[in-house]
Structure 1
Amino acid sequence: MTTIGRCWMAAFGLTLTTAACGSSDLADQGTDTTPITRAQTPDNEFTPVELEATVDSLIAELNKSSLEPMQMVVLLKSLSDFFEPIATGANRAMGELEVTGNVLAPIDQSDDATTTQDLQNQQIELAVADGAGGIAVSPFGDINAAAIDKAVANGVHVVTLDTDMAASKRSLYVGSLNKSAGAMAATTLLTMLPEPPGTVLIHGSTGTDWIDGYERTLSAQEVIGDAGYTFVVSQASFGADNEAFDVDGMKSRIETADPPVIGLLGLFNISYRCVLAADAAGIPGVPIVAFDYDPKTVDYMRQKRIRATHAQRQYYEGYLVPYILYGIKTIGLDATKEILSPLMVDGNKVNIGFDVVPSDKIDAYNDFLHTIGVIQ
């Protein structure tokens, strides 16, 4: 796989992580009779028991089959920040499976989104040409659908992760479900609020051009509205340069809310800005619930300014994907889905869930992350 990696990097400027390879080149490998084994995760209050058990069930079924060599690739948007734990999990799983594979991402994170999307399409095409039996991809958008469909037409199994491409011919999506994410976050906040009336400010997304953010926001609105509260959405503005603008927008909505704001809900990794907005609007003691595990969010949790956050399970997202690809190749899609049924939603989505982390459980959660070898 080393030669393949060098060619891809030279041709398309791709970042290559440590390869998870078998003991020799794929062409020289025969049937592998060594059972698949994995290091068990130590018990922790944050260990996703059902998810862990599902992986064990899949491995048990695979070990009943004839274990053949396989080549696969996991294509991510990036290998840093949010995606780093995904890469860690994917590499670990490929090592346990002893498949030939790499985790790749475009180096050129251009301001021109089309350029980056085209690079990912080229990655998909090269993986097919190189003989990959399975591809996992975190697509940038609809522009990647045709490349996914072409791979499937060439007999390559494709699953999406982090971002779905439901309109494509991918076999499965693996990741968080945004509707349940927004509802879960809103439900967490409800336990901290006084009785209605009152307004909840949601730091979310109102534009349907980003469907993931929109669905997360819409489901949060529904839960809050059904509980008898008024809600107002402040459109999140990403990027460090937009922080002051973002905070000012929330401040204005807080000051004009009727009835007054009694809680803030942040739905993205910049949720910590809710604290800045509450301070700017003169309501520093209002309950705030956040999303993701950004270091600034954690700092505010230690100060008891943010009362809880909802951490995505990026490591498990990456870890599941190679096992799923190997399962589809070895025992078939239907058999793999049957084993994954405890995690399946809508017939083709594998829900990895979220970790609800209260502010008084930060150290316990960090201990859990340490056991799986990730920082997020």
Structure 2
Amino acid sequence: MTTIGRCWMMAFGLTLMTAACGSSDAPDIPVGENPTFIKRRPTPVTEFTPVKLEATVDDLIAELNEHTNKPMHAEIVLKVVTGFFAPVATAANRAMGELGMTGNVVGSLEEPGDQQEAVDLQNKQIEQTVAGGAEAIGLAPFGDGNGPAIDAAVAKGIHVVTLDADVEASKRSMYVGTLSGAAGKTAGETLLPILRPPPGTVIIHGNVNPVWATGLERTQGAQDVFEKAGYKTVVSQITLTEEGDGDDATSMKTLIETEDPPVVGMIGMFNESYRCAMAVEDAGRTDIPIVAFDFDPKTVNYMRKGLINATHTQRQYYEGYLVPYILYGIENIGLDETKKILAPLMADELRVDTGIDVVTVDKLDAYNDFLYALGVSQ
């Protein structure tokens, strides 16, 4: 077994995988106390602290501390350990340290290129994790292509919890992360009050491709809000390539100039939301209100320029922090008991909703301070 905090590097083909290193947060247990006693790192209390989520984690720890828990080896397998997933890696490492787990937080250093190659690579990683003696796996999957590898691990008695994205058809124990439909609805409800009354068109920078189910759900969640309020909606399909900045901005500029009734608002559903602001600049229509998704630096810059009114951030830190605790709970007090304690966060029998944060322009600095206090950036 490897110990938490060790850098683990391996290569499959040309893709380099690495652990997120450094777990200095393991608690110091006084001599004579229960060696499995769990002591959390204190969480900063701010207006952005998710109170219900924090209380639920404390309840889980209280129950676990009633038991003498056995040591555990787990692996957290991410798509990447940089960018969007950097807070996930930091938090997972922190939680594993608090729990005294052995294992690694593993992911690529670079965004994957070919999707199928990325899926195949991650499946090999899962297989190697199983062969290495892991008792549980936290997985940020690429999609349904990871299903057979998940099921093979489960068949060997290994619990798998997915995060960030789900593989619903698999035998995974639980999903932890943002619920796309609800997140889209929340984002729509942020924009709705600042729109002028209908008639009018709302441009949604989103996804209409059913292959990307969660992207479609988030887009439709927002779409329903506007259409029920009497607005026409037009979805401008996101381009998930480096060329997307120019392509998407041009497409949305054309919609701004041609739609009837006129465009009265725009909403971005993904990390590339800043392209909405690029479009209004190009069209000379910086009066159009925009709300965004995620906390990309370009989005933040456009917020500071006054072109984006608010953004909606996923709680990546808490996704990464929760998963080791859930795996530890399943191993030591059982799946059903763990689910009972997690009930305040569960949308249904299998999904834990970490929620989203609504960050308005006037709260940017406060939100950055909260992330800094957690020791992460998004």
Structure 2 contact 3–102 (Cα < 8 Å) conserved: no
**1:266-277 equivalences in 2 (<5 Å):** 266-277=268-279
Distance in 2 (CA, whole Å) between partners of 1:6 and 1:176 is 29
SS of 2:123's equivalent in the other structure is helix
Structure 1 contact 22–100 (Cα < 8 Å) conserved: no
How far is the alpha carbon of 1:32 from its aligned partner?
6.2
Distance in 2 (CA, whole Å) between partners of 1:344 and 1:91 is 23
| Mapped pair 1:314 → 2:342 | no
Q: In angstroms, what is the RMSD of aligned CA positions?
A: 2.0
How far is the alpha carbon of 1:7 from its aligned partner?
7.9
TM-score by length of 2: 0.93
Structure 1 contact 152–170 (Cα < 8 Å) conserved: yes
Rate the CA distance shift 1:350–1:87 in 2: closer, same or farther, 3 A: same
**Equivalent residue for 1:233, pick from 232, 235, 247:** 235
Distance in 1 (CA, whole Å) between partners of 2:362 and 2:23 is 37
Structure 1 contact 197–229 (Cα < 8 Å) conserved: yes
| Paired position in structure 2 for 1:221 | 223
SS of 1:131's equivalent in the other structure is coil
| Paired position in structure 2 for 1:353 | 355
Distance in 2 (CA, whole Å) between partners of 1:58 and 1:260 is 51
Instruction: Name whichever of 4-13 and 55-64 sits farther off.
Output: 4-13
Structure 2 contact 2–103 (Cα < 8 Å) conserved: no
Distance in 1 (CA, whole Å) between partners of 2:20 and 2:369 is 25
SS of 2:313's equivalent in the other structure is strand
| Paired position in structure 2 for 1:156 | 158
Instruction: Name whichever of 108-117 and 366-375 sits farther off.
Output: 108-117
**1:120-199 equivalences in 2 (<5 Å):** 120-199=122-201
| Paired position in structure 1 for 2:19 | 16
Q: For 1:159-202, what per-residue CA distance to the aligned partner results, in whole angstroms no more than 9, with x for missing partners?
A: 00011000000000000010011100000000111111111111
Distance in 2 (CA, whole Å) between partners of 1:256 and 1:110 is 36
Taking every aligned residue pair, what percent have the same amino acid on both sides? 56
Structure 1 contact 255–281 (Cα < 8 Å) conserved: yes
How far is the alpha carbon of 1:256 from its aligned partner?
1.8
Distance in 2 (CA, whole Å) between partners of 1:117 and 1:179 is 25
TM-score by length of 1: 0.94
**1:1-376 equivalences in 2 (<5 Å):** 1-2=1-2, 9=10, 13-18=16-21, 33-106=35-108, 111-376=113-378
Gap runs ≥5 in structure 1: 24-30
Distance in 1 (CA, whole Å) between partners of 2:120 and 2:199 is 50
How far is the alpha carbon of 1:84 from its aligned partner?
0.3
How far is the alpha carbon of 1:19 from its aligned partner?
6.1
Q: Which amino acid aligns with 2:19?
A: L
SS of 1:283's equivalent in the other structure is coil
Distance in 2 (CA, whole Å) between partners of 1:153 and 1:360 is 50
SS of 2:288's equivalent in the other structure is coil
Structure 2 contact 206–235 (Cα < 8 Å) conserved: yes
Instruction: Name whichever of 298-307 and 351-360 sits farther off.
Output: 298-307
Runs of 4+ in 1 over 6 A off after TM superposition: 3-8
Rate the CA distance shift 1:16–1:32 in 2: closer, same or farther, 3 A: farther
Distance in 2 (CA, whole Å) between partners of 1:331 and 1:124 is 25
Q: Which amino acid aligns with 2:320?
A: G
Structure 1 contact 22–98 (Cα < 8 Å) conserved: no
Instruction: Name whichever of 158-167 and 122-131 sits farther off.
Output: 122-131
How far is the alpha carbon of 1:55 from its aligned partner?
0.4
Distance in 2 (CA, whole Å) between partners of 1:77 and 1:314 is 13
Instruction: Name whichever of 210-219 and 101-110 sits farther off.
Output: 101-110
Distance in 2 (CA, whole Å) between partners of 1:197 and 1:11 is 55
Rate the CA distance shift 1:22–1:133 in 2: closer, same or farther, 3 A: farther
| Paired position in structure 1 for 2:30 | none
Rate the CA distance shift 1:258–1:132 in 2: closer, same or farther, 3 A: same
SS of 2:146's equivalent in the other structure is helix
